[in-house]
Structure formats: C-alpha cells, structure tokens
Structure 1
Amino acid sequence: MSDIAVAELPPVEDEPRRRPAAEPPPPPKNPLLDDGILSTLLRLSWPNMVALTAGTCVAVAETSYIGRLGTESLAAMALVFPFVILTMTMSGGAMGGGVASAIARALGSGDSDRAATLAMHALLIGLCFGFAFMLGMLIFGARALELLGGRGNVLAQAIGYVHIFFAGAMVPWLMNTFAAILRGTGNMKLPSLMILNASVLQIVLGGVLGLGLGPIPSFGMQGVAAGTLIAFSIGTAVMAWYIFSGRARVTPKFKGLRIQRGMFFDILKVGAVACFSPLQSVLTITIFTHMLAHFGTEVLAGYGIGARLEFMLTSIAFAIGIASVPMIGMAIGARQVKRARQIAWTAGLVSFASVGVVGCVIAFFPDLWVDLFTKDPAVRLASERYLQAAAPMYAFIGLSISMYFSSQGAAKVLGPVLAQTGRLIFIGIGGWLLTVNHGTAGNFFTLAAASMVLLGVTSALSVLLTRWEPKVVPVVDPRSSLS
C-alpha cells in the first residue's frame, strides 16, 4: 500500500471562483468634446460662414437698391441701421448665445431633459423680448430717429421702415431663438441653411417691393422692410417644424410645462448680461451717427456705406464665435476647462486674422467696396476716408466678438460687456472733445478706429483674467443635521 502513489486531488474551494465584473461600455463619443479643436471649430463655422456670406450679399444688395431710391434713402437707412442691428444682435448673438450656452452646458453634463426644458423657457423669453421691441419702437421710434438727427424726407422714410419692420419684431426674435436652440445642440447646418434661404428671399422680395417690378408698385423703404419680415417668417416656420417634430436633439414641450425660475436664470445670467453688449454697441454707433449728422447728408451716407462693410466682416467673427459657444459650453459642462480655454484662444486668433486680412485689403483699395453703392463724389470721398482709417482695425472688432461668444459659452460674459462699456465712454468723451474743438469728419473716423483697438484688447484681457472653473456645490450629509 505504501508503494502505491496516491494522486493528489485539487484543493476544495470554499466558494466558486468569481469572474471579474464586465467593464461598463465607454460613453458615446461627442465630437465637440473629443475631436481636434481647430478642425471641429472650422467644421462648425463653415455653415455659419456660408449663411452669413449670404447675409453680406443682402447688405450689399439692400444698400445698392436703396441707393437707387436716392441719397436721402441711404441716409434714412443709416438712421434705422442701429436699431435693426440691435434687434438682430440682441436676439441672435446676445440672448441667442445665452440660450445656446445653457443648452450646451446641460447636454455636456448629460442632462437632456434639462436641455429640453431650457429650450421651452428660451422661446418664452424670445416672445417677451420681441413684444417689448415692438411696443418700444412703435411708440418711441420716431422720436429716437429725430434725436439721431433725422429731418424732413430722410426722417419720414426712416419712420416708414421702422413702422413696418418693428410691427413684426417678434419674428426675428423667434427665428434667432430657434436657431440658438439648434446651435446649442451642435447643429449648425439647419440654422445656417435657413439664414441662407432667408437671405435669398430678402434680396428678391426687398428689391421687388422696394423698387417695384411689373404690376407691383414701388413701396420704397417700407417695401424693403416688408420683404425682410416675409423672408424671416419662412425661416422661422421651418425651424419651428423641425424642432417640435422631434427631429432635433432637444424637443421643447408645452404639455406639463412648469415655469421654473432656475431655467430662466440659467439663460438670463448669460443672455441678459450679454444684451448690454449690443445695446452699448448700438448706443456707441448712435452717438457717433448723431455727431456725424452735423457734417451733412453726404458724410452720413458715406459712413453708412462703411458701416455696412464693418457689419459684413464682423459676421465672419460671428460665424466663428457662435460655433465656439456649444464647444466651450459642453467642455465646461464636462469640467474640461483647459480645453474650453484652448477653444476660446483658437477662435480669437482665427477671427482676428480672417477679419483683419479683408479689412486691410479694403483699406488699400476702398473703391472695391464703395463702387457697389454710389457714384456721388461727396459720398464716395467720405466713405473712402472712413474705410482707410477704420477698416484695418476691424480685426480688433473680430477679436472682441470672438471673446464675447467664448465668454458666453463659459457663462462668464461680464468682462467683454465691460469692455464694450469702455469703448462707449471712449467714444463719448473723445467725440465731445472733437466737437468742442471743431474736429473734422476725418478726426471722428480716427476716433472710431482707435475705439476698435481698445475694445479688442480689453475683451481679450477680460477672458485672460477671468476664472472659468465652475463652482463646486458641496454635498451636505443630511444625517449631520440630526446630530
């Protein structure tokens, strides 16, 4: 027995061996958080760029056929331009940026239900602001235009435009709110397509109703305003159908909606503060326009042509800046602050360079722009002088716009707004000094150029010095209150 080998049995385990737990699947890839910054920024920007280039064509075409109505019509458009731009920038860039930022931050943190609720509150905000603009301009618009220096037939044509456009002020507010909801989800293509469609219709309808065609009579400035509203209404209807049909990443719902102050606050803490930026910008333009009105209709019309170029070029920065909002918002929501700052500086550099190159070309060859609008020698001379002084400095306007949108994405917009305040004070004090010392129109053009540099530099400094880290809310153990 001792010679028989006994096979060793494996030890008996007390309990079965446990299999390692399966790792949870990785979260789905989010291109706005995971892809390269420059490539993603350019991919999101190009639809906006195409659409806003079409908007530039509108500015060119509109100014061109208004020029056919006469120098007085050009001057009237220069008077109403600040108020129209205020409506579009406040609804699209300021409050729209606040909407896109809030929705992007909610999606970045993985809370799609909150994003949908925010979208519904955003539409309520858009309706209220549109109604306020309608009442304000219909009641006080004529007096405001008169204070700007409008007189005689110039004032009458400007009032005619205001009465038509601002009677439908809720249309652009709703259009830009729908666009902001889509942009907050990272969808840049549909809003851009609708802006492109509206631009084409605006050129056709505004030209036909303004100048007349066949049996359609010329309605002048009122016809131009009506064409704009019709074009915007179509774009608004298409985006509303797309969002409420459930095709978007967020779907606002009327059923069971409860008004929540927190939702309004999340949008307004960015959007309401941001609204002071275009408000101050328009106030700056308004003060500047009032000062130039003393030099005569030709100088005012010439400045209006130059201001149109500024609007065109800064739309490039708008396209880049609005693309950065969902990228930065989602990065902040996911607590990737370093990436958010890299996005901001990349967007700022691209905006500064792209706007600056075109501005410098026009400064050296102003006839490329001025020839599109007028042959009047006095108007041409004023416009050329303004462009030679101001156009190279448009790069700093582009930088400021990019910093403004980047700050919206981070929900830290106060700095760029204060930078706009600095520019307003600079223009006010500088303009007063030039007025009392009998400055020339050229001196005022130089003042405008210097204010652009100030705005760009201070906006960039505000982003550099502002902390973007989201506040960490401490979690309190409920048992601690029982001890």
Structure 2
Amino acid sequence: MADAAASRQPRGRGNLTEGPIAKTLLAFALPTLASSILQSLNGTVNAIWVGRLLGEGALAATSNANMVMFLLTAFVFGFGMASTILIGQAWGRGDVDGARRVFGTASGAFAVVTVIIAIAGYYLAPAILHLLGTPGDAAPLALAYLRVIFLALPALLLLTLLMMALRGSGDSLTPLWFMIIAVVLDSGLNPFFIRGIGPIPRMGIAGSAMSTLVGNYVSLIGLFIYIYAKDLPLRLRGRELGYLLPDPAILKTLVVKGLPMGIQMIVISMSALALVGMVNREGVETAAAFGVAMQLWTYVQMPAMALGAAVSAMVSQNIGAGKWERVGQVTRVGIVQSLLITGGLLVLLTLADRTVLSLFMGPDSPALPIARHIHLLASWNFLLFGVMMVLFATVRANGAVWAPLIILAVGLVPVRFGYILATYGWLGADAIWTSFPVTSLINLTLAGAYYLNGSWKKARMTVTERPDTDECTEEALATREPGGALNPAG
C-alpha cells in the first residue's frame, strides 16, 4: 500500500505546481542554461583541438560529419520534448507510475532505434558522405570520424533523452552534473586520443570522435547508477522494468507529437544554410563577419531557449495538476524574464561589441566593422525571439505542436527570403541583416495571435484520449506546409 501511494505522489523535489513562480522558473532555467553553454563550449574546444593538431582538412571533415549528427539529434530532440511534456503532465497529476510508463517506453524504444541507426550508419557512412558532397580530400578523414561518431550515437542520444525526461520531472540539476562529466571527458581526452599519449593509441581524427564516445558512455552509465543510487522517482524496479517494452499508445503519442518538433529543427537549419549561401556571395570579409556574428548569437539566444525549456516543464506540470490559472502566470513571468535577461545581455554586448568581436578576429581585421554593423542591425531580434519561445513552450506543453512548426516555417522561408529578394535592390546586404528582426516580428505576431486565440487549450498531449476536432484540424493544416540554423538563431 505504501509503495502504491508513493507512486501517486510526486516528491517535493521537482514539484513545479506550487511556490513562487518567478523564483522557481529562474532556478529551474539556470542549470539548463549552463548545460547549453557547456555544450557549445565543448564543440568549440573540440574544433580547436582538431584544427590545431590535425589542420584545416580535418576540421572540414568534422564539419561534414557533424551535419549528419545534427539532423539525427534534431529528431531525438522532438521525441525528447514530447516525453518531457508527457512526464511533466503525469507529474503534475501526481501520477508517478504514469511518468515511469512514459519514461520506460521512451527509453526502451529509442535504445533499440539508436542501436539500429548506429549499425546502419557505420556501414552506410561512405554513401552518406557522398550524398553530402564531401570534398575528396576531406572524405577519408570524414569517414574515419563519422564511423566512430555513429558508434557513440546510442550513448549520445540516450543521454539527451534521459536528461530531458529528468527535466520533465522537475529536476534540472542532475542533467547539469552529468553534462559536465560528458563535456570534461570529451574535451579533455581529445589530445590524448588524437596524438596517442601514454598507453592510448594514436588515432588521428578518429580520436576526436573516440573522446566523444568515451565521454558520453561514461556519463550515461554514471547517470543510470546515480538514478538508482539516489532512488530518483523515474527509476524502474521489479515489474516496472516491463515498462521498457514500448506501450503502443504512448509510443504513438511520442511519434505524432515529437515529429513536428523535430522537423522544426530541420526547418531552422535549412533556412540558415540557405542564408549562409546568400551571405557567401557578399565576399570573404562579409562571410567571415557573419560567421562571427553567428558565433555570438549562439550564446545570445541561450537564455531564451533555457527559459523556454523551463516554461515547458513548468506549464506541463501545472496543466497536469489542472492549475490553469498558474499557466498564464508562468507564461507572463517567462516573457518578462526573457526580455530582462536577453535585453541586459544585448546592452552589454553592444557597449563592448568591438572588444567581444575582436576575440574572434584581430582588432585590425577589415571584417570587424562589418560584424559590428551586423550586430547592430540584427541582434535585437532575439528580444522578439525570446518572447516567441516562451509562447511556443506554453502551447506545446498542452500538445499543440503543429501550429508552432507552421508559424516558424512561414516566417523562416517565404517571409524571410521574400523580404530579402524584395529589398535587396535598395538595401544591399542590409536586406539580409534586417530580415532577422522582420522575420522575428512576423513570427511573434502569429505566435501571439495563436496564444491569445486560446484554441491551443483544446489540444491534448495524452495517450488515453482521441484527438479532438481542433487538433485534427491543426494536423491537417500542417500537411500543406513544407516540412528548418546550424544555430537556431531566430
């Protein structure tokens, strides 16, 4: 009886349905923000190791291989978000057993899927690189790197899924600690595996991928041990281990709701790649300046994305608890915090733009004035982007996943490129930079209208109810849109 009662009552830790909203939301978002910063720094440090130890050809090879990983991770992001929301709603209802069922289905299904992808990817790697048009000189290096990365894929994707599931139960600190472990091992072991220091064999470019493999497998195993050692609520014991056999209803919900969130990442990426192609036509200095601006924007957008993740977890729990009055309050607080944090960061970066941008290029670089100009015209769009992220996080937490995809696709494809083509004749390259705030303004207007309309409240993120008329309409409309940034920069 005691165990049964415990399965229906979430512990105080991770309960996002009570207490002061502003303090709770910020405390939840900060570890998520730290995790995002660590991931970005990890990629930067690894690129430095490869570039300095192996040269530009190896760096180009890793870039081609990482494009493949980004596409795969994008889909897992969608399914991870779906499981996060389902777990959060079950948690808010006090249904710990329901949260464990979702966790079991997500973990069991994707453990099998990631292993299949890893094996297939290992053998299909040459064909994949050929499809990407990898330059001949970089192809052998890219192949050696990509094959090891595919072997690391099960740990990398499962670790991401587990971390997102823990956030759904209101725990954002545990994922941070194990992200630190993965990043420290990945970045720290790079020179050892590349150069072959001590008993470690010299592996060249494959050594960089091997450090990723070791870091993520160690972190994944450590996270499993920690979950059971600390008896965290999502652990599975006894009969609950049967939850690892995917429940068809739960799995269907994860796929149906997760797919559009994964496609969203692809839409953002394709839009950014097309934009880079347009920028490259402006010359080497402009392309370099835009590349530096993109590096800066990677960090500028992080507070908004972390707050969006926090809002999603908090709203999903409150929806599960039936506390709709707190849903609106969480959204408003999230918007205010996003504006304040992102706005403060933008003011600081603008006041010190020469100093900050000089970190990426010399102070006498001819690209520096161009980068400062791009920053002044485009960077403030992240204020609008942050508000949009909070609104999208709120509606997705109730299962409305297609409308955000449609809104983003409209803004990032026809609106952005239509605006650039229409204004390029008299604005020149400034048409590209001003397309960022224009796109964000259109996206925010559409997102705000959808949120205020309230139809998203009729959507459902459950495994027991049939979709209602509004949700079916939403999904039908989504099929009319094409299914987009290397950094999701708005």
Pair in the same fold by TM > 0.5: yes
Q: Structure 1 residues 28 and 81, CA, compared in 2 at 3 Å: closer, same or farther?
A: closer
Q: Structure 1 residues 83 and 173, CA, compared in 2 at 3 Å: closer, same or farther?
A: same
Q: Match for 2:442: what amino acid?
A: L
Q: Structure 1 residues 327 and 362, CA, compared in 2 at 3 Å: closer, same or farther?
A: same
Tell me the residue number matched to 2:231: 247
- Count residues in correspondence: 444
User: Identical aligned pairs, as a percentage?
Assistant: 19
Q: Distance in 2 between matches of 1:305 and 1:81?
A: 19
CA shift for structure 1 position 455: 3.3
Q: Distance in 1 between matches of 2:247 and 2:67?
A: 34
2:438 alignment partner, one of 429, 434, 450: 450
Tell me the residue number matched to 2:338: 351
Tell me the residue number matched to 1:394: 382
1:181 alignment partner, one of 139, 158, 165: 165
Deviations 1:193-237 (A, max 9, x none): 111222222332235556887898986754444333332222222
1:39 alignment partner, one of 2, 20, 23: 23
Q: Is 2:192 aligned against 1:203?
A: no
Q: Secondary structure at the match of 2:98?
A: helix
Q: Is 2:402 aligned against 1:414?
A: yes
Q: Secondary structure at the match of 2:242?
A: coil
Q: Structure 1 residues 333 and 230, CA, compared in 2 at 3 Å: closer, same or farther?
A: same
1:91 alignment partner, one of 76, 95, 100: 76
Q: Secondary structure at the match of 1:32?
A: coil
Q: Distance in 1 between matches of 2:322 and 2:379?
A: 39
Deviations 1:377-433 (A, max 9, x none): 366566444434332222333333333333332222222222211223233444566
Flag structure 1 segments of 5+ consecutive residues without an equivalent: 1-25, 475-483
CA shift for structure 1 position 250: 1.9
CA shift for structure 1 position 101: 0.8
- Aligned 8 A contact 2:50 2:58 in 1: yes
- Aligned 8 A contact 1:98 1:270 in 2: yes
Q: Structure 1 residues 438 and 209, CA, compared in 2 at 3 Å: closer, same or farther?
A: farther
CA shift for structure 1 position 145: 3.7
Q: Distance in 2 between matches of 1:61 and 1:341?
A: 40
- Aligned 8 A contact 1:178 1:240 in 2: no
Tell me the residue number matched to 2:474: none
Tell me the residue number matched to 1:327: 314
1:404 alignment partner, one of 392, 397, 403: 392
Q: Structure 1 residues 301 and 138, CA, compared in 2 at 3 Å: closer, same or farther?
A: farther
- Aligned 8 A contact 1:141 1:162 in 2: no
Q: Is 2:218 aligned against 1:234?
A: yes
Tell me the residue number matched to 1:5: none
Q: Secondary structure at the match of 1:169?
A: helix
Q: Distance in 1 between matches of 2:402 and 2:301?
A: 21
- Aligned 8 A contact 1:283 1:424 in 2: no
Q: Secondary structure at the match of 2:298?
A: helix
Q: Secondary structure at the match of 2:94?
A: coil
CA shift for structure 1 position 274: 1.4
Task: Calculate the aligned-residue CA RMSD, in Å.
Answer: 3.9
Give me the TM-score of the superposition, normalised by structure 2: 0.76
CA shift for structure 1 position 190: 0.7
Alignment of 1:183-332 (within 5 A): 183-206=167-190, 209=193, 222-243=206-227, 247-252=231-236, 253-255=240-242, 259-295=246-282, 299-332=286-319
Deviations 1:167-210 (A, max 9, x none): 43222210111112211211111111111222222332235556
Q: Structure 1 residues 272 and 296, CA, compared in 2 at 3 Å: closer, same or farther?
A: same
- Aligned 8 A contact 2:388 2:444 in 1: yes
- Aligned 8 A contact 2:193 2:200 in 1: yes
- Aligned 8 A contact 2:17 2:314 in 1: yes
Give me the TM-score of the superposition, normalised by structure 1: 0.77
Q: Which has the larger radius of gyration?
A: 1
Q: Is 2:91 aligned against 1:107?
A: yes
Q: Structure 1 residues 408 and 351, CA, compared in 2 at 3 Å: closer, same or farther?
A: same
CA shift for structure 1 position 133: 5.8
- Aligned 8 A contact 1:404 1:459 in 2: yes
Flag structure 2 segments of 5+ consecutive residues without an equivalent: 1-8, 466-490
